[in-house]
């Protein structure tokens, strides 16, 4: 997907395992702002999310689609910004009814590479899935999309959201697949 530099950017707050990294690796103009990269020697500064959100907003204002984590501190920090005609914010998360299958997805992801990041994601979802989704769904500041099935096309969903956002902001804006 190629972005028009005059297009409105977007921040996508995505629950763990929705496919942020995969989507970003397959589509131009999408940046996966991986929160686990904001560690030094395995530890995060207590204010890491402030820098993380500043970067996300700056990139979105440049017209990029930026995938960010759904940590409460990230959502809280992003609420402090006032999305303008330069970018929009949307959250994407699985529906409550997918809990067991989602935890299994995260476990399978962990088994593939045994990374600390994937272990933490799996264990956190195993213990806190419902409360995490509930917390995200009560965040009335941002639009939220629930995934009602394990079979979804995140890239197609992102393209649709991006087009809708830019149609409202800039009716002449267009996005195209790679190779434009």
Mean pLDDT of the region 109-137:
95
Residue 84 confidence class, pLDDT cut points 50, 70, 90: confident
Instruction: Indicate whether 36 belongs to any domain.
Output: yes
Residue 166's pLDDT is what? 82
Instruction: Indicate whether 103 belongs to any domain.
Output: no
User: Distance between CA atoms of 77 and 47, rounded to whole angstroms?
Assistant: 10
Instruction: Indicate whether 83 belongs to any domain.
Output: yes
Instruction: Indicate whether 51 belongs to any domain.
Output: yes
**Percent above pLDDT 90 for the chain:** 71
Residue 174's pLDDT is what? 41
Average pLDDT along the chain: 88
Instruction: Indicate whether 177 belongs to any domain.
Output: no
CATH number at residue 25: 3.40.50.300
pTM score, whole prediction = 0.87
Instruction: Indicate whether 115 belongs to any domain.
Output: no
Instruction: Indicate whether 26 belongs to any domain.
Output: yes
SS3 content of the chain, % helix, strand, coil (to 5): 50, 15, 35
pLDDT in tens, 52-72: 999 999 999 999 999 999 999
Q: How many domains does the chain have?
A: 1
CA angle, residues 78, 40, 18, in degrees to nearest 5: 50
Provide the domain limits for residue 59: 9-98+141-169
Tokens of 114: 């045994």
């Amino acid at each position: 997907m190629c972005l028009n530099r005059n297009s409105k950017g977007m921040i996508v707050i995505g629950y763990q395992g929705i496919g942020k990294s995969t989507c970003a690796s397959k589509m131009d103009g999408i940046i996966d702002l991986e929160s686990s990269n904001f560690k030094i020697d395995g530890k995060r500064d207590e204010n890491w999310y402030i820098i993380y959100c500043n970067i996300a907003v700056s990139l979105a204002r440049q017209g990029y689609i930026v995938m960010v984590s759904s940590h409460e501190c990230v959502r809280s920090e992003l609420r402090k910004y006032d999305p303008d005609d330069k970018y929009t914010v949307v959250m994407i998360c699985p529906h409550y009814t997918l809990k067991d299958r989602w935890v299994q997805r995260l476990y399978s992801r962990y088994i593939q590479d045994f990374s600390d990041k994937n272990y933490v994601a799996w264990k956190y979802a195993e213990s806190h899935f419902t409360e995490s989704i509930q917390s995200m769904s009560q965040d009335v500041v941002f639009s939220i999309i629930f995934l009602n099935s394990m079979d979804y096309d995140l890239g197609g969903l992102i393209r649709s959201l991006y087009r809708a956002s830019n149609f409202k902001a800039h009716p002449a804006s267009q996005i195209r697949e790679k190779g434009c």
